[in-house]
Amino acid sequence: MRLASLLVADTPVLAARRGDEYVDIGAVDPSLGTDVGALIASGPDWRLRAARAATEAQPVIGDITFRPLVPRPPKVLCLGLNDVDHAAEAGLPVPDFPVVFSRVASSLIGHNQPIVRPVESDMLDYEVELAVVIGRGGRRIDAADALDHVAGYTVFNDGSIRDYQVRTHQWMLGKNFHGTGALGPELVTPEELPPGASGLKMTTIIGEERLQNGNTGAFVFDVASAVALLSTVLMLEPGDVIAMGTPSGIGFARDPKRFMVPGEICRVAIEGVGELVNPIVDDPARAATETEPKLQTGGV
C-alpha cells in the first residue's frame, strides 16, 4: 500500500494510490483521519481499515499539493555518518555508536514544494536518505522485533546549511533551516519492500548530474538497530520519523564544493520507495537584502 498526505483545494486529504491515481480514503472512513500521521495514530488496525477503504474510495479530483508525508511528526530523529563512504568523505571515523540529531517538524516540506535557500548562507546541500515511519511505539524495543514497529518507508532530503552545521559541536541549527527538509511523496508499507528496506539503490540527481549513488544495504546501523538503539532512550510514538543518514557524494565534500542554487531541481530517489522532487528557491527576504548593497553602490 502507498499512502500520501495531500492538499486538494486547500483541504487536507488522506490518499491511497490505486494504479496511477490517488483515491480519497479519508472520505470513505473518517476514522482514518486526513493525513498519514493521523492514520497511523488512529489505532493498531489502521492498515486493514485503510486497505478496505481504498477498494471503494473515489479518485481525488483537482490540483494536488503534497504535504510533508507526516505533516507533524512527534519526533524527527536523524542518524549522521551512517555510511562508511560518507564518514570517510566527511573526514570522520565511522562511529561505534550512532550520531543522532533531531529536526523540528516545521522545517519539513512536501514533494514538489520548494527547498528554501536562506538569507544567511549559500551553503545549501542535499542528502538523500531513507526515512522510517514508526507505526507502533515503544520503549527498549528488541532489535529482533523492531521491524514490526515500522509503519512504512519514504524518502527524505535532509537539506543542510553546512556552515551553520559545523559552527558548533551540535549539528542541529544547520539541519533545521525553515523549508529545507523534504519528506515524501508516499508511505510505502513494509510488505512491498525487502526486510528493513535493505539493499535499495539511493540517488541524488540535479539536472544532468548524478551526485549521490548509495545503497540502503550499506548502513553502519540498519533500520532494526536504529529503532532498538533510539528506543533505549526515547519513547517512540506512532508517526515518529527516523532518517537513516546519507551516502557519499554530498556537495560540501566535493572539490570544488557544489551547493544547490535557485532554479535547480533536486531529485532524490530510493529504488522501490519513490522519487522526491523539489525545486530550489531563494528566501524572498534574500532578494530584498541583496538589492540594498547594489543600491548603495549605484548611488556612488
- The owner of cell 540535479 is 206
Nearer to Zn ion, 28 or 229 (CB): 229
Q: Applying CB under 5 A, which of residues 127, 222, 240, 264 lies at the interface with Zn ion?
A: 127
Q: Which residue is nearest to Zn ion (CB)?
A: 158
Q: How many residues bind Zn ion (CB under 5 A)?
A: 3
Indicate whether 186 belongs to the interface with Zn ion (CB under 5 A): no
Are the C-beta atoms of residues 202 and 212 closer than 8 Å to each other? yes
Confirm if 267 and 275 have CB atoms less than 8 A apart.
Answer: yes
Provide the minimum distance between the beta carbon of 131 and Zn ion in the complex, in angstroms, as a whole number: 10
- 4 or 128: CB nearest Zn ion: 128
Nearest distance, CB of residue 189 and Zn ion, angstroms:
24
Pairing of strands 181-188, 108-109: parallel
Residue span binding Zn ion (CB under 5 A) among the ranges 55-63, 121-129, 253-261, 264-272? 121-129
Quote the CA–CA distance of 39 and 36 in Å, as a whole number: 5
Cβ proximity to Zn ion, 25 vs 79, nearer residue: 79
Report if residue 240 touches Zn ion, rule: CB under 5 A. Answer: no
Q: Is 66 or 101 the residue whose CB approaches Zn ion more closely?
A: 101
Of the candidate spans 29-37, 153-161, 206-214, 258-266, the one that interacts with Zn ion by CB under 5 A turns out to be 153-161
Binding window for Zn ion (CB under 5 A); candidates: 19-27, 30-38, 88-96, 242-250? 242-250
Q: Which of these, 188, 177, 186, lies nearest to 64 by C-alpha position?
A: 186
CB 149 within 8 A of CB 134: yes
- Using the rule CB under 5 A, is 83 a contact of Zn ion? no
Residue 125 lies near Zn ion (rule: CB under 5 A): no
Q: Which residues bind Zn ion (CB under 5 A)?
A: 127, 158, 246
